[in-house]
A and B are shown apart, each in its own frame.
Chain A
Amino acid sequence: MNLNADLTAGRLPDAFLRPGSSSFVDFLAEYAPDRLPGNRTMPAGMTDPATLSPHATTIVALTFDGGVLLAGDRRATAGPMIASRSIEKVFPADEYSAVGIAGSAGIGLELIRLFQLELEHYEKIEGSLLSLTGKANRLATMLRGNLPMAMQGLAVVPLFAGYDLDKDTGRIFSYDATGGRYEEHEHHGVGSGSLFARGALKKLWRRGMDADAAVAVAVEALYDAADDDSATGGPDTVRGIFPVVATVTVDGYQRIEDAEIARVAEQIVAQRRERGSIA
């Protein structure tokens, strides 16, 4: 597909002017299918995909009074190596939703970029937002397109959270590599450290928490994940790198400032120090 020639030759290609769906992904599938992240064919090879590309690890989500929170650590690993200490895996999907990824980082980041574009494209074409369930389903469809790559070891596992403007509540959706979509209640976590994070969430989550309390719970859950999972990074006070924590409320997506996360992390460390346990 001679895409660049089309775009520079002057007039808009016919495909652009054809009436069609409001989905950018559908448009891309028709116009330039090779640009879809899942459409690449991978050579059959012997390399372990886990060492081929960095992996992103733990993402947690929890609801609180008036919204939902999504948080992720900052580490990416390639096999036993730390590939990055400051990668970001939590992003705004649009104004009222957020998405985080665990799994193959390169593909996940590309998927998120396309998902953000998909939502924005729909919004511009239609002049209105998709419903939250519509967004969640759209992500599932895109993920299903990535199945061939997942089968070869490059799986992406997103966690999607948003504020449902129709129901006035925060909601969380998790996925599997085949595009299965599951609504989670109260809290959830994905990624290699999620086992530990979810244990912490189960103990710490309370009904009727406000946003500040939710931030503390999320940071503590990630702290526990980092404590026991080598692929999850803890708060890095030396370099000043802290988890990305974002809330989504009726006022929209808001990333919590690093200074605030640093303060919360410091409190947690202080509590643990006081407790004095070594296990």
Chain B
Amino acid sequence: MNMPFYVSPEQLMKDRADFARKGIARGRSVVVLAYEGGIAFATENPSRALHKISEIYDRIAFAAVGKYNEFENLRVAGVRYADMRGYSYDRSDVTARGLANAYAQTLGTVFITESKPLEVEIVVAEVGAQAADDQIYRLTYDGTVADEHGFVVMGGQAEQLGRRVKEGWRADLSLGEALRLAVAALGSGDGSASRTIEAAQLEVAVLERDRPRRAFRRLNRQVLADLLAEDTGTASGETPADDLPPAGDVAVGAATPGLGTPDTVPPEVPADTGTESPADEAKAGEAKADEAPAGDSTEESPTEDKPDEGPDAPGTTPGADH
């Protein structure tokens, strides 16, 4: 019998967080943003069948990045949770907040107790009767919940893309403007020249406030192409309107656990004092690169073919800008 080596809790949590972040960073980003008529979701995803964005319930949708099989499992669980709750009580008793809490507890428990954390980051969004009632929750691999306002970007280059979205986002964007902004951000990737992403390469869905019961709607390619082409194009020129409510404490890196979010449900164990949270270890980087079993064929949607370009480069890790 070998005695196990002692590993300090800090080191353990840090290793797990690094591992999860690396897996997530390998995936393509998802942009979630509010527009005047609801909430829009966009990501680059050439697959028409393996979705990263989907409906959970009447007014609630789900978006995820990371390992496909893991977030698909969470998605199905969320649908079951919502349907079970709606069936037991009433449809109006199913809320994004409840679902986000259940996800947070689940992610947190897995992060601490299982041998491998889930390499996922998810958004649960609910469209309300008015814009003020909209809810967007972002959940990370360790169970951290953040209550976001306006927009969220998660995935590979969340930070860069988030900056891009922040520049152009206003609360009263039309759907076309919002999507052009999202797509421009998605294409602005790695600092090099920005790409133009074709409608066929995009997965886009919306929660439309005015739809009577089921607010979720996927935009098919034609509708999407029309929206993207609506006027002269790129929403890049957008300047943030001056006196709008601040674009939120959103963004990338703001995922410090517990930060000003009444609904934050930190996992029980990891220290969430803001200095030791797993999300804070940006420096981790290269050291662990090769030991992660992640380089194998497991990541993202099977169609994902993103070159492995240093997923662990500091700064590309969501929630790690310290």
Contact = CB atoms under 8 A, between A and B. Distances in A.
Bind each other: yes
B56 interface: yes
A10 B87 contact: no
B51 A127 contact: yes
Contacts of A12: 77-78, 81, 102-103, 105-106
A125 B76 contact: yes
Given A7-B85, A11-B105, A127 B77 contact: no
The bracket for how many chain B residues form the interface is 20 to 34
A27 interface: yes
Contact of B73 (A17, A117, A120, A124): A17
A48 B181 CA distance: 66
A240 interface: no
A138 to B, nearest CB: 15
B79 A117 contact: no
Given A10-B105, A12-B81, A117 B55 contact: no
Contact of B79 (A7, A31, A35, A124): A124
B54 interface: yes
**Overall SS of chain B's interface:** helix
B140 interface: no
Q: Which 3 residue pairs across A and B have the least CB separation, nearest first? A: A11-B105, A10-B105, A16-B77
Interface of B: 49, 51, 54-56, 73-74, 76-81, 83-88, 101-103, 105-106, 108-109, 265
A121 B79 contact: yes
A124 B55 contact: yes
B106 to A, nearest CB: 4
Contacts of A7: 81, 84-85, 88
A127 B81 contact: no
A31 B81 CA distance: 11
B56 A11 contact: no
B106 A11 contact: yes
B83 A121 contact: yes
B216 to A, nearest CB: 9
Given A35-B88, A121-B79, 10 more contacts: A11-B106, A16-B77, A17-B73, A17-B74, A17-B77, A19-B73, A27-B80, A28-B84, A28-B87, A117-B87
Given A121-B83, A124-B56, A124-B79, A11 B102 contact: yes
Contacts of B87: 24, 28, 35, 113-114, 117
Given A11-B102, A17-B106, A113-B87, A125 B79 contact: yes
A28 B86 CA distance: 13
A117 to B, nearest CB: 6
Contacts of A124: 54-56, 79, 83
Given A11-B105, A11-B106, A127-B54, A117 B83 contact: yes
